[in-house]
């Protein structure tokens, strides 16, 4: 057991899976000699060689497409895109091919690949380097969209993603890469893809979030308890798609009030689907309008105004108070 940050935890997952399974291949721009822009693949080339840790030219469409071909032939490619804002080049290959081959061939051809990319703001970078566009992938039938919220679940989900029989888009919050450390066991640990978790129990209000937003959500929940004596239940989705709605719809049946938080733009964002599920499954238990605290419908602004865009604990707190003060 060691205390690792998220970069180290992901590195551990890749290293152990590569040890265990020769078919796991890491590829991408500067993942080898340089060890990746954020150093997630650091040292892998020394341990596994150029045959399994492949530095590619600048060719994101090729990286995605080649991963599909390799996966069809039984390899387990884990491709890195340096920033999720460069993954739009991959979109065609994933949407047109990776996501459809199982369906098209009735399961005869499958694509067990992982596309990793750092996403989200909070590191004061600029557009294409800070965005949160997970909804594109979540909207795509045939791929799974996973977003961990800390070192330990990042490691466990990465192992599961590599072993998953379907294409997995794996977004890693840059803001969390080195934000904090957690105990991460040496021995194998996995987490089921497609299952959310209750990370804080409560009876008065439900907050639903994932990725980098879990931290401000927990902070707001603590404030609510301290200042208002409110018990907030927090659900970490961990997988955005397929969306596990069991925990949060049950939770809202109990609390009657929900706040959804994501840094992705508001309109047609993941929150919209979560609201729909709540309306479908928890409607008669709702005691207040469902609140969404999200990014704005725009490209994430530059560093000076980034704070205004990304949901903060304060904004979440205020939305929660409003939801709590609404009389049914």
Partner 1 sequence: MNAQRTPKKKTPKAERDHVLHLLKNMIRIRRLEEACAELYSAMKIRGFLHLYDGQEAVAVGVMEALTAEDAVVATYREHGHALIRGISAGSILAEMFGKQEGCSRGRGGSMHLFDAKTRFYGGNAIVGGGLPIAVGLALADQMQQRPRVTGCFFGEGAVAEGEFHESMNLASLWKLPVLFVCENNLYAMGTALKLSESVTDLVRKASSYDVAAASVDGMDVLAVEAAAQKAAAAVRSGKGPHFLECRTYRFRAHSMFDPELYRDKAEVEDWKKRCPIEAFSKTLKTEGLLTDKDRQKIEGEAAKEIKEAVAFAEACTWEPVEDLTRFVTSERRSE
- Choose the binding region for partner 1 from 52-60, 147-155, 184-192, 319-327 (rule: CB under 8 A): 52-60
- Taking CB under 6 A as the binding criterion, the range among 41-49, 81-89, 282-290, 294-302 that sits at the site for ligand TPP is 81-89
> Between residues 132 and 196, which has the closer beta carbon with respect to partner 1?
132
CA distance 3 to 307: 29
Q: How many residues bind ligand TPP (CB under 6 A)?
A: 6
2 near ligand TPP (CB under 6 A): no
Q: Check binding of 266 to partner 1 (CB under 8 A).
A: yes
Smallest CA-to-CA distance from 95 within 149, 30, 142, 152 is with: 142
Question: For partner 1, which residue of 23, 69, 72, 86 counts as binding (CB under 8 A)?
Answer: 86
Q: What's the closest the beta carbon of residue 91 comes to ligand TPP, in angstroms?
A: 12
DSSP 8-26: HHHHHHHHHHHHH-TTEEE
Q: Which of 305, 325, 327, 328 binds partner 1 (CB under 8 A)?
A: 305
Q: Which of 89, 92, 128, 129 is catalytic?
A: 129
Of the pair 84, 160, the CB lying nearest partner 1 is at 84
- DSSP for 13-76 reads HHHHHHHH-TTEEEEETTSSTT--TTSTTTTHHHHH-TTTEEE--S-HHHHHHHHHHHHHTT-E
- Exactly one of 85, 148, 151, 311 binds partner 1 (CB under 8 A); that residue is 85
User: If you compute the radius of gyration of the chain from its CA atoms, what whole number of angstroms results?
Assistant: 20
**Contacting ligand TPP within 24-43 (CB under 6 A):** 29
Of 79, 194, 54, 177, the C-alpha closest to 119 is 177
- β 197-200/232-236 pair status: antiparallel
- Spell out a b/e string for 156-193, using b for 16 or more CB atoms within 10 Å of the CB, else e: bbbbbbbbbebbbbbbbbbbbbebebbebeeeebebeb
Stretch that binds ligand TPP, among 82-90, 110-118, 224-232, 262-270 (CB under 6 A): 82-90
Tell me, yes or no, if 262 is annotated catalytic. no
Of the residues 17, 60, 80, 273, which one makes contact with ligand TPP according to CB under 6 A: 60
Q: Name the residue nearer to ligand TPP (CB basis): 37 or 272.
A: 37
3-state secondary structure of 288: coil
Does residue 180 contact residue 149 with C-beta atoms inside 8 Å?
Answer: no
Q: Which does 72 bind (CB under 5 to 8 A by kind): ligand TPP, partner 1, none?
A: none
Contact call for residues 182 and 195 (beta carbons, < 8 A) = no
Nearer to ligand TPP, 88 or 303 (CB): 88
Of 41 and 196, which has the nearer Cβ to partner 1? 41
Instruction: Calculate ∠ Cα 57-301-208, nearest 5°.
Output: 95
Residue 194 binding partner 1, by CB under 8 A? no
How far is 259 from 253, CA to CA, in rounded Å?
14
Question: Does residue 86 touch ligand TPP according to CB under 6 A?
Answer: yes
3-class secondary structure, 318:
helix
Query: Which sequence positions are flagged as catalytic?
Result: 129
Positions in the binding site for ligand TPP (CB under 6 A): 29, 58, 60, 82, 86, 89
Positions in the binding site for partner 1 (CB under 8 A): 29-30, 33-34, 37, 55-62, 85-86, 89, 124-129, 266, 296-299, 301-305, 308-309
């Amino acid at each position: 057991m060691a205390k690792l940050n998220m970069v180290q935890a992901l590195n551990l997952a890749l290293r152990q899976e590569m040890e265990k399974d020769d078919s796991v291949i890491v590829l991408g721009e500067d993942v080898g000699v340089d060890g990746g822009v954020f150093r997630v693949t650091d040292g892998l080339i020394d341990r596994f060689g150029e045959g399994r840790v492949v530095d590619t030219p600048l060719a994101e469409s090729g990286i995605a497409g080649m991963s599909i071909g390799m996966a069809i032939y039984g390899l387990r490619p884990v491709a890195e895109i340096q920033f999720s804002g460069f993954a739009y080049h991959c979109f065609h290959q994933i949407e047109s091919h990776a996501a459809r081959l199982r369906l098209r061939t009735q399961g005869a051809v499958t694509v067990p690949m992982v596309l990793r990319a750092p996403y989200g703001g909070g590191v004061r970078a600029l557009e294409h380097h800070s965005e949160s566009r997970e909804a594109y992938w979540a909207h795509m039938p045939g791929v799974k969209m996973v977003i961990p919220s800390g070192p330990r679940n990042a490691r466990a989900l990465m192992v599961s993603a590599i072993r998953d029989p379907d294409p997995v888009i794996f977004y890693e919050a840059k803001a969390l890469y080195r934000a904090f450390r957690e105990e991460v066991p040496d021995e194998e640990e996995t987490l089921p893809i497609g299952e959310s978790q209750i990370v804080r129990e409560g009876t008065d209000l439900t907050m639903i979030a994932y990725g980098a937003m879990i931290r401000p959500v927990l902070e707001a929940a603590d404030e609510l308890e301290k200042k208002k004596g409110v018990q907030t239940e927090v659900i970490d989705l961990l997988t955005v798609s397929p969306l596990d709605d069991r925990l949060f719809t049950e939770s809202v049946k109990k609390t009657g009030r929900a706040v959804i938080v994501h840094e992705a733009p508001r309109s047609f964002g993941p929150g919209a689907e979560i609201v729909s599920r709540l309306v479908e499954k928890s409607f008669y238990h709702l005691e207040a309008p469902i609140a969404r605290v999200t990014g704005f419908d725009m490209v994430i602004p530059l560093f000076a105004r980034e704070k205004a865009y990304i949901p903060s604990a304060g904004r979440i707190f205020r939305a929660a108070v409003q939801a709590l003060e609404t009389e049914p």
